[in-house]
Amino acid sequence: MLMALYRLRSNWLFKVFLTTRQFVLKFWDPVVTIQINKRRIKGYLSSTFPITLRTFPEYDTVLIRVSRFIAPKHDRPLKIIDIGANIGDTFSVLDQEINAEFLCIEGNANFYSLLVRNTRKNSNVVPIQAFLGDHAHEGETTFQQQQHGTCYLGAENQKRTSPANRVQIFTLDQILEKYPHFRNSQILKIDTDGFDCKVLGGATNFIAKAAPVIFFEFCPKYLLPQKEDPLSIFTHLRSQGYRQAIFYDNTGFPIIELPTDAKKQIDSLVNYSLISDKVFFDVLLFPQYSGEGFFDQELAAFPMKHPLDRGLSYPQWISSKNLR
């Protein structure tokens, strides 16, 4: 029944459903069934994933195209590390499209329980419960916040900190010592709501040896409370051989490809994100030279949004639409 509500064709009825959903969430966040393509998984009603997919079907499809782009260059199956795996939504998208093995890492106990539930019949998934950072330590002054179907760690004052809220932080390099099968993974995906740069900082050895394609969430408003310089991660990645970065908006559309040392342009994107407060980015990086031509393919994947693909210049396209 709920899945049918997410697919309502009437915008008016869908708004009624969203209003009712928000009212229910004030009191209760039940586990419900979510459909991702042809697969049904369990998730929380608060998850915005099916709502986003309704409006932006391209959302969470970038790694499908990345996997197909790099697959001919690697032995199959591909190996993918998914940090911030949540309930297994990214796995559910990719597993229907590509041949791959997955190391899915999720820190939040509620999401991890559903991740295990959603992947227990899949032999190509290894789920791990862990929070990752740039160094191993106990997070004595951090707390977990769960909202909108996601979870993040945030600094909290000592008064509200309790032993129950303390978490152990590991590095990805540490995790891979226990799971060596994934040391040569070809794709590293990170979605940790502000801890993304710290996670990358704790994966230095893995990145240096495996040179994976990296896809991470870049949300400046979450990075700043962690005392992270949003530009520093690009300097760090450039030192490890990542020369170009492709930026996507938070609905899955490609925006621009920039050199990782283009500080002025990247800073403009950071400022735009902070001003809008609702826009953030996903960033895709290939190791040096291995991603040539991919951004052009990405633009071609959205032909209705790219008039030059139809052989028209922008002035010609404007004239054809009688927009002058």
Domain locations in the chain as residue ranges: 60-292
Please give the pLDDT value at position 183. Answer: 97
Task: State whether CATH 3.40.50.150 applies to domain 60-292.
Answer: yes
Q: Which two tokens stand for residue 158?
A: 């000592």
Please give the pLDDT value at position 2. Answer: 57
Please give the pLDDT value at position 9. Answer: 62
Is 72 in contact with 151 (CB distance < 8 Å)? no
Pick out the chain residues at pLDDT < 70.
1-10, 139-165, 303-324
| Other residues' Cβ atoms within 10 Å of the Cβ of residue 172 | 27
Strands (E), the chain: 31-36, 39-44, 78-83, 100-106, 125-129, 131-132, 137-139, 142-147, 150-155, 167-170, 187-190, 213-218, 244-249, 254-259, 281-285
- Kindly report the pTM of this predicted structure: 0.86
Angle, vertex CA 217, rays to CA 229 and CA 39, nearest 5: 165
Q: What is the pLDDT of residues 189-235, one digit of tens each?
A: 999 988 898 999 999 999 999 999 999 999 998 888 888 889 999 99
259 closest CA partner among 281, 231, 279: 231
Please give the pLDDT value at position 304. Answer: 57
